[in-house]
Structure 1
Amino acid sequence: MSAQPQFALSDEQYDALREIANIGMGKASSALADLIGTTILISVPQAVCVPISNLPGVLRDPEQVTAGIYLQVTGEVAGHAMFIFEVGSAHRLAGRLLGLPEVALDEVTASALMEIGNIMLSAYLTAISDFTGLQLLPSPPVMAVDMGCAILSAVIANMQNLDDYAVTIATDIYDPEGLISGTFVFLPEPGGIQRILESIGMG
Protein backbone atom coordinates (compact mmCIF):
# COMPACT_ATOMS: atom_id res chain seq x y z
CA MET A 1 0.00 0.00 0.00
CA SER A 2 1.43 3.36 -0.97
CA ALA A 3 2.01 6.06 1.62
CA GLN A 4 0.09 8.66 -0.40
CA PRO A 5 -2.93 8.16 -2.71
CA GLN A 6 -1.96 7.59 -6.33
CA PHE A 7 -4.97 9.65 -7.44
CA ALA A 8 -7.82 11.59 -5.88
CA LEU A 9 -11.39 10.63 -6.73
CA SER A 10 -13.77 13.29 -7.98
CA ASP A 11 -17.41 13.44 -6.90
CA GLU A 12 -18.42 12.03 -10.30
CA GLN A 13 -16.02 9.11 -9.91
CA TYR A 14 -17.34 8.38 -6.41
CA ASP A 15 -20.88 8.39 -7.79
CA ALA A 16 -19.90 6.03 -10.60
CA LEU A 17 -18.30 3.58 -8.17
CA ARG A 18 -21.38 3.72 -5.94
CA GLU A 19 -23.59 2.95 -8.95
CA ILE A 20 -21.43 -0.03 -9.90
CA ALA A 21 -21.58 -1.20 -6.28
CA ASN A 22 -25.37 -0.96 -6.25
CA ILE A 23 -25.66 -2.91 -9.50
CA GLY A 24 -23.38 -5.61 -8.13
CA MET A 25 -25.32 -5.87 -4.89
CA GLY A 26 -28.58 -6.16 -6.81
CA LYS A 27 -27.19 -9.17 -8.69
CA ALA A 28 -25.86 -10.66 -5.46
CA SER A 29 -29.25 -10.34 -3.74
CA SER A 30 -31.00 -11.98 -6.70
CA ALA A 31 -28.55 -14.87 -6.51
CA LEU A 32 -29.23 -15.20 -2.78
CA ALA A 33 -33.00 -15.22 -3.32
CA ASP A 34 -32.64 -18.02 -5.88
CA LEU A 35 -30.39 -19.98 -3.54
CA ILE A 36 -32.62 -19.88 -0.46
CA GLY A 37 -35.86 -20.04 -2.43
CA THR A 38 -37.61 -16.98 -1.06
CA THR A 39 -38.33 -13.40 -2.00
CA ILE A 40 -36.00 -10.93 -0.34
CA LEU A 41 -35.73 -7.17 -0.23
CA ILE A 42 -32.38 -5.47 -0.12
CA SER A 43 -31.40 -2.03 1.13
CA VAL A 44 -28.01 -0.44 0.62
CA PRO A 45 -27.83 2.31 3.25
CA GLN A 46 -24.19 3.02 2.45
CA ALA A 47 -22.05 2.34 -0.62
CA VAL A 48 -18.74 4.16 -0.51
CA CYS A 49 -15.18 4.12 -1.80
CA VAL A 50 -12.87 4.78 1.14
CA PRO A 51 -9.11 5.03 1.70
CA ILE A 52 -7.69 1.74 3.00
CA SER A 53 -6.58 3.47 6.20
CA ASN A 54 -10.24 4.26 7.00
CA LEU A 55 -11.52 0.77 6.23
CA PRO A 56 -12.35 -0.46 9.78
CA GLY A 57 -14.63 2.55 10.18
CA VAL A 58 -17.08 1.23 7.57
CA LEU A 59 -18.14 -1.62 9.86
CA ARG A 60 -21.22 -0.83 11.95
CA ASP A 61 -19.52 -2.25 15.04
CA PRO A 62 -15.85 -3.11 14.39
CA GLU A 63 -15.56 -5.07 17.67
CA GLN A 64 -18.65 -7.20 17.12
CA VAL A 65 -18.03 -10.91 16.47
CA THR A 66 -18.71 -11.66 12.82
CA ALA A 67 -18.46 -14.37 10.20
CA GLY A 68 -16.37 -13.28 7.22
CA ILE A 69 -16.42 -15.08 3.86
CA TYR A 70 -13.36 -14.17 1.79
CA LEU A 71 -12.09 -14.96 -1.69
CA GLN A 72 -9.26 -13.80 -3.91
CA VAL A 73 -10.02 -12.09 -7.21
CA THR A 74 -7.88 -12.61 -10.30
CA GLY A 75 -8.19 -11.33 -13.85
CA GLU A 76 -8.01 -7.81 -15.23
CA VAL A 77 -8.86 -6.28 -11.85
CA ALA A 78 -7.15 -8.47 -9.27
CA GLY A 79 -7.78 -8.08 -5.57
CA HIS A 80 -9.73 -9.49 -2.66
CA ALA A 81 -13.45 -9.55 -1.83
CA MET A 82 -15.39 -10.48 1.29
CA PHE A 83 -18.77 -10.39 2.98
CA ILE A 84 -18.74 -9.78 6.73
CA PHE A 85 -21.95 -10.79 8.53
CA GLU A 86 -22.92 -10.28 12.16
CA VAL A 87 -22.97 -13.79 13.68
CA GLY A 88 -26.74 -13.78 14.26
CA SER A 89 -27.30 -12.83 10.62
CA ALA A 90 -24.89 -15.56 9.52
CA HIS A 91 -26.87 -18.11 11.56
CA ARG A 92 -30.14 -16.99 9.96
CA LEU A 93 -28.67 -17.18 6.46
CA ALA A 94 -27.29 -20.67 7.01
CA GLY A 95 -30.56 -21.78 8.60
CA ARG A 96 -32.50 -20.58 5.57
CA LEU A 97 -30.27 -22.57 3.23
CA LEU A 98 -30.30 -25.70 5.40
CA GLY A 99 -34.02 -25.49 6.13
CA LEU A 100 -33.44 -25.43 9.90
CA PRO A 101 -34.97 -23.00 12.43
CA GLU A 102 -31.75 -22.84 14.46
CA VAL A 103 -28.13 -23.67 13.64
CA ALA A 104 -24.82 -23.70 15.51
CA LEU A 105 -21.61 -22.43 13.93
CA ASP A 106 -20.30 -25.91 13.10
CA GLU A 107 -18.75 -27.47 10.00
CA VAL A 108 -22.10 -27.88 8.23
CA THR A 109 -23.07 -24.26 8.91
CA ALA A 110 -19.64 -23.03 7.82
CA SER A 111 -20.00 -24.95 4.55
CA ALA A 112 -23.44 -23.41 3.97
CA LEU A 113 -22.12 -19.92 4.67
CA MET A 114 -19.19 -20.39 2.29
CA GLU A 115 -21.62 -21.51 -0.41
CA ILE A 116 -23.77 -18.43 0.21
CA GLY A 117 -20.74 -16.14 0.23
CA ASN A 118 -19.30 -17.72 -2.90
CA ILE A 119 -22.55 -17.32 -4.85
CA MET A 120 -23.13 -13.73 -3.71
CA LEU A 121 -19.53 -12.63 -4.24
CA SER A 122 -19.36 -14.34 -7.64
CA ALA A 123 -22.62 -12.68 -8.70
CA TYR A 124 -21.27 -9.31 -7.59
CA LEU A 125 -18.03 -9.76 -9.54
CA THR A 126 -19.94 -10.96 -12.62
CA ALA A 127 -22.07 -7.81 -12.49
CA ILE A 128 -18.93 -5.65 -12.40
CA SER A 129 -17.49 -7.64 -15.32
CA ASP A 130 -20.68 -7.23 -17.36
CA PHE A 131 -20.85 -3.49 -16.65
CA THR A 132 -17.19 -2.69 -17.28
CA GLY A 133 -16.15 -5.36 -19.79
CA LEU A 134 -13.29 -6.33 -17.45
CA GLN A 135 -12.66 -9.90 -16.34
CA LEU A 136 -12.85 -10.61 -12.58
CA LEU A 137 -12.47 -14.25 -11.54
CA PRO A 138 -13.21 -15.54 -8.00
CA SER A 139 -11.19 -18.18 -6.13
CA PRO A 140 -12.79 -20.75 -3.77
CA PRO A 141 -13.92 -19.03 -0.54
CA VAL A 142 -12.62 -19.37 3.00
CA MET A 143 -14.33 -18.31 6.24
CA ALA A 144 -13.21 -16.81 9.54
CA VAL A 145 -15.09 -16.00 12.75
CA ASP A 146 -13.70 -13.06 14.73
CA MET A 147 -14.29 -9.39 15.40
CA GLY A 148 -14.94 -7.58 12.13
CA CYS A 149 -11.93 -5.30 12.55
CA ALA A 150 -9.69 -8.32 13.22
CA ILE A 151 -10.86 -10.07 10.04
CA LEU A 152 -10.19 -6.97 7.95
CA SER A 153 -6.80 -6.42 9.58
CA ALA A 154 -5.75 -10.03 8.98
CA VAL A 155 -6.70 -9.89 5.30
CA ILE A 156 -4.89 -6.58 4.78
CA ALA A 157 -1.79 -7.80 6.63
CA ASN A 158 -1.50 -10.82 4.32
CA MET A 159 -1.67 -8.77 1.14
CA GLN A 160 1.46 -7.80 -0.72
CA ASN A 161 -0.16 -5.04 -2.78
CA LEU A 162 -3.22 -2.89 -2.22
CA ASP A 163 -4.79 0.01 -4.04
CA ASP A 164 -5.30 3.20 -2.07
CA TYR A 165 -9.07 2.73 -2.00
CA ALA A 166 -11.56 -0.01 -1.17
CA VAL A 167 -15.19 -0.30 -2.28
CA THR A 168 -17.45 -1.01 0.70
CA ILE A 169 -21.20 -1.62 0.88
CA ALA A 170 -23.35 -1.83 3.99
CA THR A 171 -26.19 -4.21 3.15
CA ASP A 172 -29.52 -4.92 4.81
CA ILE A 173 -31.35 -8.01 3.54
CA TYR A 174 -34.96 -8.53 4.53
CA ASP A 175 -36.61 -11.92 4.19
CA PRO A 176 -39.87 -13.20 5.76
CA GLU A 177 -37.96 -14.17 8.91
CA GLY A 178 -36.31 -10.84 9.59
CA LEU A 179 -33.27 -8.70 8.94
CA ILE A 180 -29.84 -9.91 7.84
CA SER A 181 -27.11 -7.26 7.98
CA GLY A 182 -23.68 -7.43 6.44
CA THR A 183 -20.87 -5.47 4.82
CA PHE A 184 -19.27 -6.18 1.46
CA VAL A 185 -15.65 -5.14 0.93
CA PHE A 186 -13.68 -5.18 -2.33
CA LEU A 187 -9.94 -4.55 -1.98
CA PRO A 188 -8.35 -4.13 -5.42
CA GLU A 189 -4.65 -4.37 -6.09
CA PRO A 190 -2.87 -1.17 -7.22
CA GLY A 191 -4.50 0.46 -10.23
CA GLY A 192 -7.71 -1.56 -9.91
CA ILE A 193 -10.07 1.30 -9.11
CA GLN A 194 -8.49 3.42 -11.83
CA ARG A 195 -8.88 0.57 -14.32
CA ILE A 196 -12.58 0.21 -13.47
CA LEU A 197 -13.12 3.96 -13.91
CA GLU A 198 -11.23 4.00 -17.22
CA SER A 199 -13.38 1.13 -18.52
CA ILE A 200 -16.51 3.30 -18.16
CA GLY A 201 -14.87 6.44 -19.55
CA MET A 202 -14.25 8.13 -16.20
CA GLY A 203 -10.53 7.53 -15.71
Structure 2
Amino acid sequence: MVLFEDLNEMQLDALKEIGNIGAGNAATALSKMVGKRVNMEVPLVRILPLKDVPEWLGGPEKEVLGVYLSVFGALAGHILFVMTIDDALKIMRILLGDMAPSRDQILSMDELASSAMGEIGNILSSSYLSALADFTGLHLNHSVPAIAVDMAGAIVDVVLIEISQHSDYALLIETVFVEEEDRITGYFMLIPDTGSLEIILQALGVV
Protein backbone atom coordinates (compact mmCIF):
# COMPACT_ATOMS: atom_id res chain seq x y z
CA MET A 1 0.00 0.00 0.00
CA VAL A 2 1.32 3.44 -0.95
CA LEU A 3 1.41 6.05 1.83
CA PHE A 4 1.76 9.82 1.54
CA GLU A 5 4.94 9.78 3.59
CA ASP A 6 6.56 7.30 1.17
CA LEU A 7 5.97 9.25 -2.06
CA ASN A 8 8.95 9.89 -4.33
CA GLU A 9 9.68 13.16 -6.17
CA MET A 10 7.92 12.10 -9.40
CA GLN A 11 4.77 11.11 -7.53
CA LEU A 12 4.77 14.35 -5.54
CA ASP A 13 5.20 16.36 -8.74
CA ALA A 14 2.21 14.59 -10.32
CA LEU A 15 0.04 15.41 -7.29
CA LYS A 16 1.27 19.01 -7.29
CA GLU A 17 0.28 19.36 -10.94
CA ILE A 18 -3.25 18.29 -10.02
CA GLY A 19 -3.16 21.01 -7.36
CA ASN A 20 -2.05 23.61 -9.90
CA ILE A 21 -4.81 22.68 -12.36
CA GLY A 22 -7.42 22.52 -9.59
CA ALA A 23 -6.48 26.00 -8.37
CA GLY A 24 -6.74 27.30 -11.94
CA ASN A 25 -10.17 25.72 -12.29
CA ALA A 26 -11.21 27.35 -9.01
CA ALA A 27 -10.07 30.80 -10.16
CA THR A 28 -12.02 30.34 -13.41
CA ALA A 29 -15.11 29.26 -11.47
CA LEU A 30 -14.87 32.32 -9.21
CA SER A 31 -14.45 34.57 -12.26
CA LYS A 32 -17.69 33.20 -13.71
CA MET A 33 -19.49 33.67 -10.40
CA VAL A 34 -18.49 37.33 -9.99
CA GLY A 35 -18.55 38.23 -13.68
CA LYS A 36 -15.02 39.63 -13.65
CA ARG A 37 -11.51 38.28 -13.72
CA VAL A 38 -10.15 36.58 -10.61
CA ASN A 39 -6.43 35.90 -10.79
CA MET A 40 -4.54 33.20 -8.96
CA GLU A 41 -1.05 33.14 -7.54
CA VAL A 42 0.99 29.96 -8.02
CA PRO A 43 -0.46 27.61 -5.39
CA LEU A 44 1.63 26.06 -2.64
CA VAL A 45 1.14 22.29 -2.65
CA ARG A 46 2.46 20.03 0.09
CA ILE A 47 1.84 16.80 1.94
CA LEU A 48 0.99 17.58 5.55
CA PRO A 49 0.22 15.41 8.61
CA LEU A 50 -3.38 16.11 9.59
CA LYS A 51 -2.32 16.92 13.14
CA ASP A 52 -0.24 19.83 11.77
CA VAL A 53 -3.08 21.36 9.72
CA PRO A 54 -4.42 23.68 12.50
CA GLU A 55 -0.97 25.29 12.92
CA TRP A 56 -0.76 25.79 9.15
CA LEU A 57 -4.12 27.60 9.25
CA GLY A 58 -2.90 30.05 11.90
CA GLY A 59 -3.14 28.03 15.10
CA PRO A 60 -5.73 25.69 16.69
CA GLU A 61 -7.73 28.64 18.07
CA LYS A 62 -7.95 30.54 14.76
CA GLU A 63 -11.59 31.04 13.78
CA VAL A 64 -12.17 29.55 10.34
CA LEU A 65 -14.95 28.48 8.04
CA GLY A 66 -14.71 24.89 6.87
CA VAL A 67 -16.54 23.06 4.08
CA TYR A 68 -16.39 19.26 4.22
CA LEU A 69 -17.34 16.77 1.50
CA SER A 70 -16.86 13.04 1.13
CA VAL A 71 -15.63 11.68 -2.20
CA PHE A 72 -16.90 8.46 -3.76
CA GLY A 73 -16.85 6.66 -7.09
CA ALA A 74 -13.62 5.18 -8.47
CA LEU A 75 -11.93 6.08 -5.19
CA ALA A 76 -12.99 7.13 -1.72
CA GLY A 77 -11.78 10.02 0.34
CA HIS A 78 -12.54 13.38 1.86
CA ILE A 79 -12.24 17.04 0.95
CA LEU A 80 -11.87 19.88 3.43
CA PHE A 81 -11.87 23.48 2.17
CA VAL A 82 -10.96 26.08 4.80
CA MET A 83 -10.61 29.85 4.87
CA THR A 84 -10.37 32.41 7.66
CA ILE A 85 -13.47 34.39 8.63
CA ASP A 86 -11.87 37.55 7.20
CA ASP A 87 -11.35 35.85 3.83
CA ALA A 88 -14.87 34.42 3.94
CA LEU A 89 -16.16 37.99 4.40
CA LYS A 90 -14.10 39.18 1.42
CA ILE A 91 -15.33 36.49 -0.93
CA MET A 92 -18.95 37.07 0.09
CA ARG A 93 -18.64 40.82 -0.47
CA ILE A 94 -17.21 40.16 -3.94
CA LEU A 95 -20.00 37.74 -4.78
CA LEU A 96 -22.99 39.37 -3.08
CA GLY A 97 -22.08 43.07 -2.77
CA ASP A 98 -24.44 44.86 -0.37
CA MET A 99 -26.33 41.60 0.18
CA ALA A 100 -23.26 39.95 1.74
CA PRO A 101 -23.73 38.66 5.30
CA SER A 102 -21.94 40.37 8.18
CA ARG A 103 -19.24 38.82 10.36
CA ASP A 104 -21.88 38.11 13.03
CA GLN A 105 -24.07 36.36 10.46
CA ILE A 106 -21.13 34.20 9.36
CA LEU A 107 -20.17 33.36 12.93
CA SER A 108 -23.76 32.39 13.74
CA MET A 109 -24.09 30.66 10.33
CA ASP A 110 -27.51 32.11 9.63
CA GLU A 111 -29.42 30.95 6.57
CA LEU A 112 -27.89 33.47 4.13
CA ALA A 113 -24.30 32.86 5.22
CA SER A 114 -24.76 29.09 5.33
CA SER A 115 -26.32 28.98 1.87
CA ALA A 116 -23.71 31.28 0.30
CA MET A 117 -20.72 29.48 1.77
CA GLY A 118 -22.19 26.10 0.90
CA GLU A 119 -22.46 27.17 -2.73
CA ILE A 120 -18.96 28.68 -2.76
CA GLY A 121 -17.45 25.63 -1.08
CA ASN A 122 -19.28 23.32 -3.43
CA ILE A 123 -18.05 25.16 -6.54
CA LEU A 124 -14.44 25.49 -5.36
CA SER A 125 -14.19 21.89 -4.15
CA SER A 126 -15.74 20.67 -7.40
CA SER A 127 -13.06 22.62 -9.28
CA TYR A 128 -10.28 20.68 -7.58
CA LEU A 129 -12.12 17.39 -7.82
CA SER A 130 -12.77 17.83 -11.54
CA ALA A 131 -9.03 18.46 -12.03
CA LEU A 132 -8.31 15.16 -10.28
CA ALA A 133 -10.96 13.36 -12.37
CA ASP A 134 -9.73 14.87 -15.66
CA PHE A 135 -6.08 14.17 -14.88
CA THR A 136 -6.66 10.57 -13.81
CA GLY A 137 -9.63 9.64 -16.01
CA LEU A 138 -11.43 8.39 -12.89
CA HIS A 139 -15.17 8.93 -12.38
CA LEU A 140 -15.62 10.81 -9.10
CA ASN A 141 -18.57 12.25 -7.20
CA HIS A 142 -18.92 14.10 -3.93
CA SER A 143 -21.50 14.51 -1.19
CA VAL A 144 -23.50 17.63 -0.34
CA PRO A 145 -21.14 20.00 1.53
CA ALA A 146 -21.30 20.26 5.30
CA ILE A 147 -20.36 23.70 6.61
CA ALA A 148 -19.00 24.73 10.00
CA VAL A 149 -17.59 27.85 11.64
CA ASP A 150 -15.30 27.04 14.54
CA MET A 151 -11.70 27.07 15.70
CA ALA A 152 -9.31 25.37 13.26
CA GLY A 153 -8.38 22.73 15.83
CA ALA A 154 -12.03 21.82 16.43
CA ILE A 155 -12.85 21.54 12.71
CA VAL A 156 -9.84 19.32 12.03
CA ASP A 157 -10.74 17.17 15.05
CA VAL A 158 -14.24 16.61 13.63
CA VAL A 159 -12.75 15.59 10.28
CA LEU A 160 -10.32 13.23 12.02
CA ILE A 161 -13.25 11.55 13.76
CA GLU A 162 -15.15 11.36 10.46
CA ILE A 163 -12.30 9.70 8.56
CA SER A 164 -11.36 7.45 11.49
CA GLN A 165 -8.16 5.54 10.67
CA HIS A 166 -8.27 6.01 6.89
CA SER A 167 -5.38 8.46 6.68
CA ASP A 168 -3.01 10.55 8.79
CA TYR A 169 -1.95 12.87 5.95
CA ALA A 170 -3.56 15.33 3.54
CA LEU A 171 -2.59 16.81 0.20
CA LEU A 172 -2.85 20.51 1.08
CA ILE A 173 -3.17 23.16 -1.63
CA GLU A 174 -2.87 26.76 -0.46
CA THR A 175 -4.23 29.10 -3.13
CA VAL A 176 -4.33 32.90 -3.14
CA PHE A 177 -7.08 34.39 -5.30
CA VAL A 178 -6.71 38.05 -6.31
CA GLU A 179 -9.68 40.22 -7.32
CA GLU A 180 -8.76 43.89 -7.73
CA GLU A 181 -7.53 44.92 -4.24
CA ASP A 182 -8.69 41.78 -2.46
CA ARG A 183 -6.44 38.81 -1.73
CA ILE A 184 -8.27 35.69 -0.56
CA THR A 185 -6.47 32.60 0.69
CA GLY A 186 -8.17 29.23 0.52
CA TYR A 187 -6.83 25.92 1.83
CA PHE A 188 -7.99 22.82 -0.04
CA MET A 189 -7.22 19.42 1.46
CA LEU A 190 -7.65 16.04 -0.21
CA ILE A 191 -7.56 13.10 2.19
CA PRO A 192 -7.81 9.76 0.32
CA ASP A 193 -9.03 6.66 2.16
CA THR A 194 -6.80 3.62 2.53
CA GLY A 195 -5.83 2.32 -0.92
CA SER A 196 -7.21 5.32 -2.82
CA LEU A 197 -3.86 7.12 -3.03
CA GLU A 198 -2.50 4.10 -4.88
CA ILE A 199 -5.47 4.21 -7.29
CA ILE A 200 -4.67 7.88 -8.05
CA LEU A 201 -0.98 7.17 -8.64
CA GLN A 202 -1.75 4.16 -10.86
CA ALA A 203 -4.12 6.30 -12.94
CA LEU A 204 -1.34 8.89 -13.27
CA GLY A 205 1.15 6.20 -14.26
CA VAL A 206 3.60 7.01 -11.47
CA VAL A 207 3.34 3.98 -9.16
Please report the TM-score for the alignment, with normalisation by the length of structure 2.
Answer: 0.88
SS at match of 1:47: strand
How far has the Cα of 1:88 moved from its partner?
0.9
Structure 1, unmatched stretches of 5+, are: none
Gaps of 5+ in 2: none
Give the Å deviation of 1:34: 0.6
Q: Which has the higher helix share?
A: 2
Q: Which residue of 2 aligns with 1:40?
A: 38
Q: Deviations over 1:70-96 (max 9, x none)?
A: 111111121111210110110111222
Residue 186 of structure 2 aligns to a residue whose secondary structure is: strand
Q: 2:14 aligns with which of 7, 12, 16?
A: 16
What is the aligned length? 201
How many Å separate the matches in 2 of 1:124 and 1:102?
Answer: 25
Q: Does the 8 Å contact 1:36/1:97 carry over to 2?
A: yes
- 1:50 counterpart letter in structure 2: L
TM-score by length of 1: 0.89
Two-structure CA RMSD over aligned residues (Å)? 2.2
Structure 1 residue ranges (4+ consecutive) displaced by more than 3 angstroms after TM superposition:
51-58
Structure 2 distance, partners of 1:77, 1:10, is 21
SS in 2 for 1:100: helix
Q: Post-superposition shift, 1:53?
A: 4.2
Matches within 5 A, 1:23-62: 23-62=21-60
Alignment of 1:112-191 (within 5 A): 112-191=116-195
Opposite residue 140 of structure 1, the aligned amino acid is V
Corresponding residue SS for 2:29: helix
Out of 70, 79, 82, the position equivalent to 2:80 is 82
Q: Secondary structure at the match of 2:129?
A: helix
Shift of 1:11: 1.4
